[in-house]
């Protein structure tokens, strides 16, 4: 039954919708946590340490954090694979161009594919930059506040992050509404409300995440 569901277009769209909502929930929590940087190094570093001790003593040190990471990796893989396979299926279904031009889609819709690729590459960069420190010269383990300030004190760190967050906003704007349709939450009477929620989520996430590099660039965070 699981294989039958996965092989169907609706099944892949459902996997894509559910995995997308899991990532969206994480992004909201992650953004709120990031904004703690405006309360100073002590507050932000304490929050970063707390993330590693959640669930103690029942859970061992960092076990909860690793559990969250595993769920997120599974969601990212499921989302990416289902998106790729749906795209290939759509191309095979119409190998030649339409005789009549289709109505012009929104900018977010037309850039969903490239936005997903940009975000996938950004996730890799973000981990290597602020988690492992592989591409971060002067990375200091156990000092997240200083590492964030260092990253956004470079022009390329700001450019990479801000471009990725703009792509995220477009992705969320279209993705949330699309997921609602797939899961049956959409209707003629609720479409306007769902689109409003999607726009607000996209705006809040984009502004919330970009506030951190802007805070560093303006000296509010230093």
Q: What is the pLDDT of residues 139-169, one digit of tens each?
A: 999 999 999 999 999 999 999 999 999 999 9
Residue 103 predicted with pLDDT over 60? no
Q: What is the pLDDT of residues 16-56, one digit of tens each?
A: 999 999 999 999 999 999 999 999 999 999 999 999 999 99
Q: What is the pLDDT of residues 53-90, one digit of tens each?
A: 999 999 999 999 999 999 999 999 999 999 888 888 87
Q: Residue 104: what pLDDT?
A: 53
DSSP category for residue 39: G
Q: Residue 189: what pLDDT?
A: 78
Spatial contact of 20 and 179, defined as CB atoms under 8 Å apart? yes
CA distance 131 to 54: 18
Residue 95 predicted with pLDDT over 70? no
CA distance 128 to 125: 5
At residue 6 the predicted structure's pLDDT band, cuts being 50, 70 and 90, is confident
- The distance of Cα 52 from the centroid of its chain, to the nearest Å, equals 21
The model's pTM: 0.88
Which of 168, 218, 186, 198 shows the shortest CA–CA distance to 31?
168
């Amino acid at each position: 039954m699981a294989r039958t569901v996965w092989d169907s277009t609706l099944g892949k769209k459902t996997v894509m919708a559910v995995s997308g909502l899991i990532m969206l929930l994480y992004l909201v929590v992650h953004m709120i946590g990031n904004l703690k940087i405006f309360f100073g190094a002590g507050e932000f570093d304490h929050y970063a340490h707390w993330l590693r001790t959640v669930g103690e003593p029942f859970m061992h040190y960092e076990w909860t954090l690793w559990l969250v990471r595993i769920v997120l990796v599974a969601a990212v893989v499921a989302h990416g694979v289902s998106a790729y396979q749906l795209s290939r299926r759509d191309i095979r279904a119409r190998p030649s161009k339409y005789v009549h031009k289709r109505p012009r889609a929104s900018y977010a819709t037309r850039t969903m594919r490239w936005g997903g690729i940009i975000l996938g590459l950004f996730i890799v960069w973000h981990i290597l930059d602020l988690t492992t420190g592989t591409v971060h010269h002067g990375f200091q383990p156990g000092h997240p506040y200083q590492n964030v300030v260092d990253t956004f004190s470079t022009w390329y760190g700001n450019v990479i992050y801000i471009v990725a967050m703009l792509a995220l906003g477009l992705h969320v704007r279209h993705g949330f509404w699309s997921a609602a349709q797939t899961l049956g939450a959409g209707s003629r009477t609720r479409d306007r409300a769902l689109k409003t929620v999607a726009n607000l989520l996209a705006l809040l996430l984009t502004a919330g995440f970009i506030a951190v590099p802007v805070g560093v660039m303006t000296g509010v965070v230093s």
